Every structure is written in C-alpha cells, then in structure tokens.
Structure 1
Amino acid sequence: MIALGVDTSGRTLSVAVARGGQLLGEYSLALGYRHSVTFQPAVDELLGRCDLTARDVGLFAVAAGPGSFTGIRIGLAAVQAMAYAAGAQAVGVSSLRALARSSGAGKGLTAPLLDARGGRVFSTLYRGSRQLIEESPRKIDDLLMEIAAVAGQNEKILVTGDGIAVWEEALARDPGRTGRLPFETVYASLPFCYIRASAVIELALEDLAGGVAVTDPFRLEARYGIASSAERVQGQQGSGENEVEGT
C-alpha cells in the first residue's frame, strides 16, 4: 500500500511517501507559515518523483495537532479531499506524538514541546512509546513539576520542539532549579526538533495494525488543544469577559 504523510501543524512543512512501510521519499521545507502556498506543489512534486499520483495512495496520514490552527486546518482539509477523491483511508495522529517519534529518542524519556505562547507549551511525556502524562497546554512550571514526579533520579530527558525556548527560559529564571530537579535535560539538535512526515506515516500504520485508527476521511478531527482566538473571543463576549489571551 502506498502511504502519503503530511504535517502542516507547525512552521515546517513535511511530506513523505512510503510503500509497504518503506520510505520512498520525503520533503521538509522550513519556510514558515506558508502552507497554503507550498503544500500542494510539494505533494505533487514528491509524488511525481516517485512516479505516483494522489490516486495511487491508499493511506493518507496527517498530523492533526496541536499546533497552528490555520496549519492544522490546511492539512486536514487537503487530506480529506485527496482521500475522498482516491477512495482511500485517512488517519490523523497527534502532532506531539509525531514530534516525539521524529526526535529519534528510543526507549528513554522524551518531552515534545510546542510553544503555546504566554509561558505555556502543548506538552506530554513519553518513555519510549508509552505516554506518561496526558497531552495538554500547560504552564512550563507546572510541566516541570509533573515530569519531576515521574522521572527517575538523574534520568536523562530529551526535550524537543519549538517549545525548547520556553523550557530554557524557565530554567534561566531560577538558576538553582536545575539542581533541584531529579532529571537531566538533554536538548534535541535542530534537525530533530521538527515533525517528519515519515514519522506520521509510521504512527498511522501502527494505529491501523492495532485496530485503533479512524480511517473515514470525514471523521478526521483536529486536535487543537485549546480554543482558537476567535472561539475564545466569542466565549468571553458571552460571559461578559473583555480580556483576550493570545495564542
């Protein structure tokens, strides 16, 4: 089966094609939030280099969030349309889970972080493929406490994603905190701080094999994690609140 994986949930666009689980090709473009312009040409070019078209694809896999609201919508809408046209399956996976897989962390602790602004991060924690804390937007100080409660003494934790800067700032504000935390922080290098579409394919195939994947293109759901700015404004107006928190 031909699988096409895509990620538009962050600043980097990534697309990949695999056959029978074997990677045929992958593009990652760090051009910022220009996915509405760059997505379709990248997909068409990669498929063309693999002598394929979208109608040859049997599985479309997409990083469904959390992340950029607009980026998530672009990816989901495109996958829904392509999967429907091809009569193919479509599977959404967590962007945090895909980020952790993209980091190449192996069996150790991995904290994938996506900057949610305001000192918050979309976050979770994995030991290998096992999730230890739930996905949620958190204040970075709360996340550090949650991780400290489950990490082993002097255990190394790989931190990855664009939320690294938020983590670093939290430690810099309190230089003594590093010594009080039971774990040791290791930062992923830049190439491993972005979601790879090949990891999205891997996870979708694992979910299919495990019987936990939803494959109907029109049942794909975005995992925004928090309400969008427009949704928060609407809710605050209804409750009489005037202050709007940015994301």
Structure 2
Amino acid sequence: MKTLAIDTSTRQSSLALFMGSDLVASQWLDPSLQTTQAITPLLQELVDEVGWKPAELQLVIVAQGPGSFTGLRIGVMTAKTIAYVSGATTVGVNTLRAIAQRCDDNVSRLHVVMDAQRKQLFHAAYDRNDNGNYVEVQSTQIVDDQAFLASLSPGESITGPGLKNKLAYLPEGVRVVDENEWAPTAQAVGRVGIVDFLAGRFDDFWSLSPNYYRKSAAEEKLESETP
C-alpha cells in the first residue's frame, strides 16, 4: 500500500512515504518558507523521487493534534485534498502518540508533553506493550507546567518538545528521553497510523478535522466579551 504521512503540528514539519510498513522516503519542509508554500512542492519532489504519482496514494496519515493551530489546519486540509483526488483512506494520529513512538528505549510508563503556551503543557501518558507499541493510559489533557513536572515520580520517563527550558522542574530520578527524539515527525506519524489502519481503524474523510484541545486566544477573548 502506497502511503503518505504528514506532520505539520510544529514549525519543523515533514512528509514521509511508505510502501506497506517500509519507509521509502522522508523530508523536512523548509522552515524558512510558509507551510502552505512548501508542502505541495515537497510532496511532488518525494513522489517523483520514488516514481509514484499523487493519484496513486492509497492511504494518507496526518498528525491531528495537539499542535500549532495553523499547522494542523494546513496538514489536515492537505490530507483531505489528496485523499479526495486519489480516493485514499485517511487516518488521523494524535501528535503525542507519534512522539511516544520515537522512543525505542525499554520504558514502561512514558509521559509526553508539548508546549500549550500560557505556562501550560499538552500531556498524555503511554505504556509500552509486548509488541513495542505505546498504548494510551492517560488521554491528552492540558496541565500547568511546573506543577505537573514536579509531580512526576523517580523511575518514570518523559519526552516531548514541551520539555524545552523546563528540565529544572523535574524531580531527581525522572528519566528524560534523548532530546533528539522529542519532536514529532512524519515518519513517526506514519508508523502509528499504519498500525491503526492494519488494526481496522480509519477516519471518515468528510469529518476528519484537527484536534486543538483548547480554544484559541481569540475565541476565548470573544467569549469573555459576550454578555
């Protein structure tokens, strides 16, 4: 099955192509360009590299959130557009779960965090099963950064871009995954989505949408001003 994976949940976005479960190509988007400018040319470059056509894609997997509001919208809309043209099946993947997938270490409980702004974090927790896949044990929620990090117990592991400049808040004995594995990637998004698809899970094309997990600052301001 020819598969495209898309991650635009952070500024460092990426695309990946898989044949079955095998990665055949991947590339970062140019961060100096707007995502909308960079994503289509890069996709064309990748499919040309492996000798495919966009219309031949059979599965499109996309990071659904949490993450950048604008980035998630672009990624999901791109996935839906490609799926509409090619007739591909779509699968949305939780960004935190994709980050967890990058951790190959022998850990049981793994916490994953992304910056939610306002001194808060997006957080989810996962346990690794016998197949090496991470199973969600704490669904995505928003937590206060300092209080949450200080609440972790020695022996637990943590990863994710939300750790940047916050390591000082961690108690002694909490294991931090290698910083090179903190960020989400299209390759990780693809691997998670392929596992889900093979297990029979996919998303309705028409209803696929980003999961922001919080309202934007503009929406919250509008609600507070509405009598």
TM exceeding 0.5: yes
Superimposed CA distance per residue, residues 41-86 of structure 1 (whole angstroms, 9 cap, x where no aligned partner):
1111111101111111000000011000000000011110110010
Task: Say whether 1:134 aligns with 2:152.
Answer: no
Q: 2:69 matched to which residue of 1?
A: 69
Q: 6-15 vs 159-168, which deviates more? A: 159-168
Superimposed CA distance per residue, residues 102-155 of structure 1 (whole angstroms, 9 cap, x where no aligned partner):
23345433222111112111111112212222211110234236644xxxxx41
Q: How has the CA–CA distance of structure 1 residues 194 and 107 changed in structure 2, closer, same or farther, with 3 Å as cutoff?
A: same
Contact map agreement 2:98 2:188 (CA 8 A) in 1? yes
For these two proteins, the number of residue pairs brought into alignment is 222
The alignment-based identity, stated in percent, is: 27
Distance 1:58 1:30 in 2: 26
Letter in structure 2 aligned against 1:141: Q
Contact map agreement 2:146 2:169 (CA 8 A) in 1? yes
Q: CA RMSD in A?
A: 2.0
Task: Say whether 1:209 aligns with 2:214.
Answer: no
Distance 2:60 2:156 in 1: 35
Task: Say whether 1:220 aligns with 2:219.
Answer: no
Gapped runs of 5+ residues in structure 1?
Answer: 149-153, 172-177, 240-247
Q: How has the CA–CA distance of structure 1 residues 139 and 204 changed in structure 2, closer, same or farther, with 3 Å as cutoff?
A: same
Q: 1:35 matched to which residue of 2?
A: 35
Letter in structure 1 aligned against 2:82: M
Letter in structure 1 aligned against 2:127: R
Contact map agreement 1:36 1:74 (CA 8 A) in 2? yes
Distance 2:106 2:68 in 1: 27
Distance 1:108 1:30 in 2: 35
Superimposed CA distance per residue, residues 175-207 of structure 1 (whole angstroms, 9 cap, x where no aligned partner):
xxx24xxx42324222x1221212212211221
Structure 1 position 15, deviation (Å): 0.5
Distance 1:44 1:91 in 2: 21
Gapped runs of 5+ residues in structure 2?
Answer: 129-133
Give the structure-2-normalised TM-score: 0.89
Map 1:153-168; keep pairs closer than 5 Å: 154-157=154-157, 159-165=158-164, 167-168=166-167
Contact map agreement 1:113 1:122 (CA 8 A) in 2? yes
Q: How has the CA–CA distance of structure 1 residues 147 and 30 changed in structure 2, closer, same or farther, with 3 Å as cutoff?
A: farther
Task: Could you list the structure 1 runs, at least 4 aligned residues long, displaced by more than 4 angstroms after superposition.
Answer: none
Letter in structure 2 aligned against 1:211: G
- Select which of 188, 191, 207 maps to 1:199: 188
Q: 2:179 matched to which residue of 1?
A: 189
Q: 2:131 matched to which residue of 1?
A: none
Contact map agreement 2:23 2:187 (CA 8 A) in 1? yes
Q: How has the CA–CA distance of structure 1 residues 131 and 185 changed in structure 2, closer, same or farther, with 3 Å as cutoff?
A: same
Contact map agreement 1:5 1:62 (CA 8 A) in 2? yes
Q: How has the CA–CA distance of structure 1 residues 168 and 75 changed in structure 2, closer, same or farther, with 3 Å as cutoff?
A: same
- Select which of 144, 151, 167 maps to 2:149: 144
Distance 1:222 1:33 in 2: 22
Give the structure-1-normalised TM-score: 0.82
Map 1:234-245; keep pairs closer than 5 Å: 234-239=222-227
Structure 1 position 98, deviation (Å): 0.7
Map 1:71-150; keep pairs closer than 5 Å: 71-128=71-128, 129-144=134-149, 147-148=152-153
Q: How has the CA–CA distance of structure 1 residues 76 and 132 changed in structure 2, closer, same or farther, with 3 Å as cutoff?
A: same
Q: How has the CA–CA distance of structure 1 residues 17 and 90 changed in structure 2, closer, same or farther, with 3 Å as cutoff?
A: same
Q: 1:244 matched to which residue of 2?
A: none
SS of the residue aligned with 1:92? strand
